[in-house]
Amino acid sequence: MFPLLAFLAFTPLLLVRADAARILIYSATRDFRHDSIPTAIDALKAKGSSISVSFDNTEDPTRFTDDVLKQYDAILFLDNTGEVLDDQGKAAFQRYLGLGGNFVGVHAASDCLRNTTWYGNEVGAFFDYHPALQNATINVLDNAHPSTNMLPAQWHVQEEIYNFKSDPRVIGATVVLSADETSYSDPGPRNYNQGTPHPTAWFQERGAGVQGSGTAGRSFYTSLGHLNETWKDDLFLAHVLGGITWTLQSNTTLAFNASANVGNPASSSSSSSVSSAATGTASSTSSSRGATLIPPGLMQAPVVIFSMLFIGLFHILP
């Protein structure tokens, strides 16, 4: 009886894909280029399986078309600077966001497409300037968010501390990390009001770059990530990966919602297989920002396991 029960227990797990969500990393630059970009891409790809994500990367702006973008559950802008998309690429990207696509921005992602208002809203705020690279203290404002719940209350980093041209809270963002301005030197001058406390990382439940009646996914941005060494630090990577997994839980893409308009199509079919066996409905997860992060399809696995065990015992036991 034991071999049969073991088979029944593990069968549903075979239906869960390791790469349930798919993310496109876009790292094109037109102005300053960070030499940490290759290190960052390698680090994200190496950690992808730990959060059930498959990462692709490109610097080709011609890939920003409806057909290409619709295959992804999120687009991650990594250290982009300058005008990295033409008008056609911007239009395709905005349509993608309006169909429920998610956005993640890291470090210099706030320093590109500077004259595109909706992009500034989607990332949360445009970069203004930063003082010299130096040691600084980052305060955790929300220790329940998946991007911060692993961090110490005062996080000591070596970093470029960004200043911004606006306060991301004005367009609805929630700031989760703040720079302690007494911990580093910044001679200025500051020409814009970025609000207080000093915003360093934030999230948007509904990305503000979506206009009209579009279905807005989530947006997450962190201004940290300048150095190669930073991308080799497990604590920093946990911060970024936590932001990514929270963003994917928008339930607006195929990684979690079989009726979504964009996302990895393969994840939808596999998640539906597990979910249908368990409940007869499509897979979904809680949209609460403090929710436990569970890979797509895995939430239903215990239900399937116990259901199949019960059936097996019913047929085997006298």
User: How do residues 114-127 score in pLDDT, each as one tens digit?
Assistant: 999 999 999 999 99
**For residue 72, what is the domain's CATH number?**
3.40.50.880
Supply the pLDDT for residue 282: 30
When pLDDT is averaged across residues 106-133 and rounded to a whole number, the result is 98
CA 315 to CA 179: how far, in whole Å?
A: 62
Structural domain of residue 82, as residue ranges? Answer: 15-248
- How many domains does the structure of the chain reveal? 1
Tell me the pLDDT tens digit for each residue of 150-179.
999 999 999 999 999 999 999 999 999 999
- Residue 19: the pLDDT is 55
Query: Is 253 domain-assigned?
Result: no
- pLDDT tops 90 at residue 308: no
* In-domain check, residue 290: no
pLDDT at residue 290 is higher than 90:
no
- Per DSSP, the residues of 229-253 read TGGG-HHHHHHHHHHHHHHHTTS-S
Mean pLDDT of 197-210: 97
Q: 283 lies in a domain?
A: no
* DSSP one-letter code for 48: G
223 pLDDT exceeds 70?
yes
pLDDT above 70 for 313: no
Residues whose CB falls within 8 Å of the CB of residue 221, separated by 6 or more in sequence, listed in order? 104, 105, 106, 109, 110, 123, 124, 168, 173, 201, 202, 203
Q: What is the mean pLDDT of the chain?
A: 84
Compare 317 and 14 and report the one with higher pLDDT.
317
Question: What's the rounded Cα separation, in Å, for the pair 48 and 54?
Answer: 6
Q: Which of 116, 78, 120, 122 has the alpha carbon at shortest distance from 98? A: 122
Please report the pLDDT score of residue 212 as a whole number.
84
Q: What is the mean pLDDT of residues 193-197?
A: 98
pLDDT of residue 2: 38
- Read off the pTM: 0.81
Residue 315 has pLDDT above 50, yes or no: no
Residue 255 lies in a domain: no
Residue 81 lies in a domain: yes
Structure letter (DSSP) for residue 265 = H
Contact 242, 150 (CB under 8 A): yes
The residue among 57, 56, 79, 44 whose CA lies nearest residue 243 is 44
Least confident of 96-100, 180-184, 209-213, 270-274: 270-274
Contact 212, 95 (CB under 8 A): no
pLDDT in tens, 37-53: 999 999 999 999 999 99
Q: Could you read off the pLDDT of 70-87 as tens digits, one per residue? A: 999 999 999 999 999 999
Amino acid at 76: L
Q: Is 23 left (phi over 0), alpha (psi -120 to 50) or beta?
A: beta
For residue range 9-36, list pLDDT tens digits in order.
433 333 334 458 999 999 999 999 999 9
Give the pLDDT band of residue 105 (cuts 50, 70, 90): very high
The residue whose two tokens read 């797990």 is 13
- Please give the Cα distance from 63 to 11 (Å, whole number): 38
pLDDT value of position 211: 83
Mean pLDDT along residues 141-158: 98
